[in-house]
A and B are shown apart, each in its own frame.
Chain A
Amino acid sequence: MANAILLDKKDNVATCTTAATAGEAIKILGGGEIVCVEDIPIWHKVALKKISAGEKIFKYGEIIGEASSDIEAGGWVSHENIFSVPRDYASEMI
């Protein structure tokens, strides 16, 4: 059994605190369990549900990027399959 931490209820990824091997169950601190579908290195993210290309990735309850390809539930979320979306600074001014 591997371990991961969920940082916010809005999140669709959790951070692995141990390495996980394909097929292994990951116990999520903060809620539930998921079986990983590929090897995930320690400190990397596991998708908690299927994330389609173009969907936003949430960690800390905030958007950390957008999926560039479909990611399966239990898949490895990394710089290879998510990217940073440009900011809209003008809309953030008060």
Chain B
Amino acid sequence: MNFWGYKRADGRAGIRNHILILPTCACGSETARIVASQVRGAVNIIFNTGCSDVQANTDMSQKILTGFACNPNVFGVVIIGLGCETVPHAKLREKIKSMTSKPVVSFGIQEEGGTLKTIEKAVRAARDLAAEAGLQQKELCDISELLMGIECGGSDATSGIASNPAVGELSDKLIDLGASTLMSESIEWIGGEHVLAKRAATPEIHNQIIKICADYEEHLKSAGQDCRAGQPTPGNKFGGLSTIDEKSLGCIRKGGTRPIVEVLNQAERPTKCGAIVMDTAGYDISSVTSMVAAGCNAIIFTTGRGTPTGNAIVPVLKVTANAQTFSWLEDNIDVDLSGIIAGDLTIADAGDLLLKKIHDVCNGRLTKAEAYGFSDIAVDHVCRFV
């Protein structure tokens, strides 16, 4: 199977060709937003951190910023810094340049003499990049260039029964075709981690999966917190999910059945092909953010209660098997899988339908969240700001 994508110098392929306006920190975010609004083809993210952080938080912020810049859906990058943040724009720019050959330029608000002067220069730079990006032709790419992130959010009981197994079927089909898939949300393995670990390709991977869950619980305990107090969420409970275990056993079904070949730290780029898992929060926005930083070029997202979420650089295709949710939130959900519950759509057929839908997205079809320009982002934190 092939798709029409944008081949990048590092060998990966994008399914979009965005100019990313990237703030180094919260203080550059508004300027970045205005720059992106002035240039067709440019997108921005709002960054809530980048300053007053302990080292571990800075490390995470940097993984997200460099990961977004290197994501194959991005043609070029315009960085907007302030001047006194933890990692200033020139340093971030050089770091990104050491990781990718795509064009990267940067400006600092304090250096340039304020917001308006920075906007003027940055808009010119973004305009030039957008003009250049317009010349890049789509080429036929093998489906092995697809790294699809798998996410769920606003889950209810329909998620584990129908939409997650359907996405699991899609994941199996993609892996059999040579593509890779990435499932995250390790807190939502708890209670089902022994089932997920059975898919491990090696005993080491089996134990890594169990250890991630044990460590997650310990991490929260050290802050005096209990994951069972926040999971399931109030919405999950209202939707019929009573315990973290019940939620997890449904959640992990979206990863399919193929052997897990690699376990990643949060926002880390895979080194293997096939079914991959990543240690992230269950908070869907944060989990998608980390998978985009890892290089996913498309995201499939199951929901029961419904959600509008989207990402600035990677299309998020949303599916539900809850008929009421689809009809009530049709403007936010892309695919209706309620036929599975009604008994007139098999999981296997739903997998085929999703393969066609995600293939269309790879070829350029906009998801609903993408058409609206949604750009949700959340950067996970180890501890308080300082």
Interface residues of A (CB under 8 A from B): 5, 7, 15-17, 29, 41-45, 59-60, 62-65, 77-79, 82-85, 87, 89-90, 92-94
A84 and B237 form a contact (CB under 8 A): no
CB atoms of A65 and B160 under 8 A apart: no
In the bound assembly, the distance between CA atoms of A78 and B241 in angstroms comes to 7
B210 contact from A59, A79, A92, Cβ within 8 A: A92
In the complex, how many residues of chain B place their beta carbon closer than 8 angstroms to a beta carbon of chain A?
A: 36
Contact of B242 among A16, A79, A94 (CB under 8 A): A79
For window 197-228 of chain B, which residues contact chain A by CB distance below 8 Å? Answer: 197, 203, 206-207, 210-211, 213-214, 217, 228
- 14 new A-B contacts, CB < 8 A, other than A15-B240, A17-B341, A63-B191, are A5-B161, A43-B158, A45-B240, A60-B250, A62-B195, A64-B246, A83-B228, A84-B228, A84-B245, A87-B217, A89-B210, A90-B214, A92-B210, A94-B203
Of A77, A78, A89, most buried by chain B (CB within 10 Å of CB) is A89
Total A-B residue contacts, Cβ distance less than 8 Å? 85
**Residues A89 and B213 in contact, CB atoms below 8 Å apart:** yes
| Chain B interface SS verdict (over half) | helix
What's the Cα separation between A64 and B224 when bound, in Å? 24
CA distance A78 to B194 in the complex (A): 23
Contact A65 B246 (CB under 8 A): yes
- The answer to whether the Cβ of B243 comes within 8 Å of any Cβ in the partner chain is yes
The residues of B that contact A44 with a CB separation of less than 8 Å are: 157, 240
In angstroms, Cα B323 to Cα A33, docked, is 24
CB distance from A91 to the nearest CB of B (A): 9
8 closest Cβ pairs, A-B complex = A43-B240, A64-B246, A43-B157, A89-B214, A84-B243, A65-B243, A79-B242, A44-B240
Chain A residues with CB under 8 A of B341: 5, 17
